[in-house]
Structure formats: structure tokens, C-alpha cells
Amino acid sequence: MYSAYSCEPILAFGDWEILSREGAQQGDPLGSLQFCEAVHPLLCDLQSTVKIGFMDDVTLSGSLQSVEQDVVTILLLTIST
């Protein structure tokens, strides 16, 4: 656990570097649980008949309108964060 939380890893993207100060780090044994706990309320609020979430994969099934609305909802949440 010490190695997962003892420092702030540097995240690099092109010419930019930022310190990662929040959330799970790669290799964090609790990272998967934290992600599942965060995505569960979203899955409960979606309108599709079938909503399956496993780790970072989501499967939706139902009417075209409900699946389309759920995809838009997920995209808007992704863009706004």
C-alpha cells in the first residue's frame, strides 16, 4: 500500500506534465473497487432495459431510444469532467 500512496506520480501528455494527486493509481489494489463504486449510481440511473457494468466496460441493451439516450448521458458526463 505504501508504494501506491507514498508519492504523486507525474502524468505526461505531449509537452504537459501534471502531478496525479487524486484517485486510484495504476497498480492500486483498491482502484477497481473505487471505480466500480463511482460508476454504480450512473448505471442505476440509465434507462436501458439491460445495463451490465464490469470494471470499465458497460453493455447496454433495450430500445434504440433508451440506449441512445444513455450513450448521450455517458458522453456528457465524460465531457464535463
Residue at grid coordinates 458497460: 58
35 neighbors 56 (Cβ within 8 angstroms):
yes
Report yes or no on whether pTM surpasses 0.85.
Answer: no
pLDDT score recorded for residue 23 = 64
20 neighbors 28 (Cβ within 8 angstroms):
no
Whether the predicted pLDDT of 4 surpasses 60: no
Cell of 23: 484517485
Whether the predicted pLDDT of 67 surpasses 80: yes
Bigger pLDDT: 25 vs 74: 74
Q: Which long-range contacts (CB under 8 A, 24 or more apart) does 28-33 make?
A: 28/4, 29/1, 29/4
